[in-house]
Chain A
């Protein structure tokens, strides 16, 4: 018989860095879930994405067991990674001069496809490019669909 679901929790946690502090601690601990076990599993499963913010959807059951699904990182995180831009400058009003190529946008779009409401890679790429522009990240070169015109 399937276990009875008691609820769901959605968090965003850095890969490999889950620890029993807030928000994980209070969110899971108050449900009687063994936080240490969640942290061990989450960290082991995200060793290849160390330090990258990852959405995680946790299902917890009446018997206090749990399982979870790790989603793809937000596009903005992947874009920052792609440009190797690091924020944290003490200088206010700093301008980012990062850029990504359409190939990089395509790679990010492919990574994100499972979690996006896009039917084609082209529409996913347009969405990613829009996020890039919002962040002040320039997309260089010509879009593949423009080359075909």
Chain B
């Protein structure tokens, strides 16, 4: 999806008020410039009436001028993705890219060519989730990867013997990238959907659910994980900090999940539940 950049000229003392108002009508982020600031919004989210209403509201106090420019979405992460190091988890799982020269063999090898999607193994939460996966029996299990990013966890589930795997993500880049990485790893039976969990076209129950997202989304979706998980299934959660454990566990308890293992690294956490 393309973004619209508004290059706004405004007196500095009023920039803060205009920023606050633009935030209320859908603008997502802002960068100061010499004469004001740039404001960014999804191209299809700008309602001109809203913008004009703000102009009218503050006409006695200040005025502003702006020029618009469409910024086409592209892979902004390409530079980093062209020269990172491979990741090894517990000396058992290698996550690497096609440009890496690999000399040593590992029991599990995952080939990921990331394209502006999360999940290369460099982040603590991915590593912790894979550590949990390595200790979880996936053989012939049905697995859901909710918020799949590059698809790394779904592919790991496949390498560990899961025989029915669904992966979902709300982000178009993540879905496309997961499909590419599935092909690289010859796991073509993994099904991928662009959707949130609430609206995903899923009809199955899963033995294992993997969700490395963030605290608020997890709190919102724990009831759905309950719905999609078989009795005594395994739920692996990550994407939050140690200070968030209490809130996450309060919510999981409500739905009958029992915490059976905790992994932590640099304040990041991954929790394993059954229920």
Interface 0/1 of B167-201, CB less than 8 Å to A: 00001010000000000000000000000000000
Contact B116 A36 (CB under 8 A): yes
State in angstroms the CA–CA spacing of A17 and B116 once bound together: 16
Contact A35 B24 (CB under 8 A): no
State in angstroms the CA–CA spacing of A17 and B27 once bound together: 11
What class of interface size applies to chain B in its complex with A? 35 or more
Write out the residue numbers on chain A whose beta carbons fall within 8 Å of the beta carbon of B61.
134
Please tell me which one of the listed residues A17, A44, A47 contacts residue B28 in the complex, with CB atoms under 8 A apart.
A17
Contact B31 A23 (CB under 8 A): yes
Judge if B96 is at the interface, Cβ distance under 8 Å.
no
Which of A19, A20, A31, A33 has the largest count of B CB atoms less than 10 A from its CB?
Answer: A20
Contact B80 A64 (CB under 8 A): yes
Contact B24 A20 (CB under 8 A): no
Judge if B204 is at the interface, Cβ distance under 8 Å.
no
Please tell me which one of the listed residues B47, B78, B171 contacts residue A29 in the complex, with CB atoms under 8 A apart.
B78
Interface 0/1 of A52-92, CB less than 8 Å to B: 01000000000010000000001111011000001111111
Judge if A5 is at the interface, Cβ distance under 8 Å.
no
Contact A80 B20 (CB under 8 A): yes
Contact A87 B53 (CB under 8 A): yes
Contact A47 B215 (CB under 8 A): yes
Judge if A136 is at the interface, Cβ distance under 8 Å.
yes
Please tell me which one of the listed residues A16, A26, A76, A94 contacts residue B19 in the complex, with CB atoms under 8 A apart.
A76
State in angstroms the CA–CA spacing of A20 and B118 once bound together: 10
Which of B20, B40, B84, B122 has the largest count of A CB atoms less than 10 A from its CB?
Answer: B20
Judge if A135 is at the interface, Cβ distance under 8 Å.
yes
State in angstroms the CA–CA spacing of A39 and B213 once bound together: 11
| B contact patch SS | mixed
Please tell me which one of the listed residues B24, B79, B116, B149 contacts residue A80 in the complex, with CB atoms under 8 A apart.
B24
Q: Which residues of A contact B (CB under 8 A)?
A: 10-14, 16-37, 39-40, 43-45, 47, 50, 53, 64, 74-77, 79-80, 86-96, 131, 134-136
Contacts A/B (CB < 8 Å), 26 sampled: A10-B31, A20-B77, A20-B173, A21-B28, A22-B40, A23-B40, A25-B77, A28-B76, A29-B76, A29-B79, A31-B79, A34-B77, A36-B114, A36-B118, A44-B240, A47-B216, A53-B20, A86-B24, A87-B25, A88-B25, A88-B50, A88-B53, A90-B47, A90-B53, A91-B53, A92-B56
Q: Which residues of B contact A (CB under 8 A)?
A: 1, 3, 5, 14, 16-17, 19-21, 23-25, 28-32, 38, 40, 42, 47, 49-50, 52-54, 56-57, 61, 71, 73, 76-80, 83-84, 114, 116-118, 120, 122-123, 125, 149, 171, 173, 214-216, 239-241, 244, 268
